[in-house]
Amino acid sequence: MVVQTEAFIMLSMVLFVLGTLGVLLKRNAILVFMSIELMLNATNLAIAAFAHQWGQVDGHLFVFFIITVAAAEVAVGLALIVAIFRAKRSINIDELHQMEG
């Protein structure tokens, strides 16, 4: 059975929307962060499917770059979250309101 590109795209869109909703709705910084990862991976899926459809390697290249960049983001993001956790003993992003206005 050959799965159509459309199916991959639909799936990736669903994942992307789920990720977006996660970022908007979750209050735990780790979960927000994971949702962002989900969005990036939805992108990877879409690109891989498109690359297959166009029969090119460009898309696959793009995926590698995204994976690498995501890893870098993880490093920075987790470091920040740890720093916040040390100070506050909490990673609820609603509790971040030092600045008003």
Partner 1 sequence: MGTLPSLESFNLWAALPGISVAVWACILLVIDLFIPKTRKETTAWLAAGGLVFAFVANLLVYNAEVDSFLGMFRADQFTAFFNIVILITAFVSILLSIDYLKRAGIERGEYYVLMLFSSAGMMFMAGANNLIVVFIALELLSIPLYVLAAFRSPEPRSEEAGIKYFILGAFASAFFVYGAALLYGATGTTNLHEVFEQVGRVIGGETTGMFLTLLGSGLVLVGLGFKVAVVPFHMWTPDVYEGAPTPVTTFMSVGAKAGGFAALLRILAIALPMLVLQDGQTNAAWQNVVVLVTTATLILGNFVAIAQTNIKRMLAYSSIAHAGYISMAVAAAGTAGIGNEAIQAALIYIIAYMFTNLGAFAVAMAIEKDDGSGTNLENFVGLGKSRPLLALMMTVFMLSLAGVPPTAGFLGKLFIFQTTLHAGLEWLAIIGVITSVVSAFYYLRIIVNMYLRDGEGDPAAGATERVNWAVYVAFAGTLLVGILPILVTTLTERVTLVANIVP
Find the shortest distance in angstroms from Cβ 77 to partner 1.
6
**Spatial separation of the C-alpha atoms in residues 55 and 18, rounded to whole Å:** 29
Contact positions vs partner 1 (CB under 8 A): 5, 9, 12, 16, 19, 23, 29, 32-33, 36, 39-40, 42-43, 46-47, 49-51, 53-54, 56, 58-59, 61-62, 65-66, 69, 72-73, 76-77, 79-81, 83-84, 86-88, 93, 96, 98-99, 101
DSSP assignment of 12-37: HHHHHHHHHHHHHH--BHHHHHHHHH
CB of 57 to partner 1, least distance (A): 10
Helix (H) or strand (E) holding 63: helix 58-88
Q: Judged by CB, which is closer to partner 1: 2, or 19? A: 19
Q: Least Å distance between CB 26 and partner 1? A: 10
Contacts 24+ apart (CB under 8 A), 68-72: 70/37, 70/40
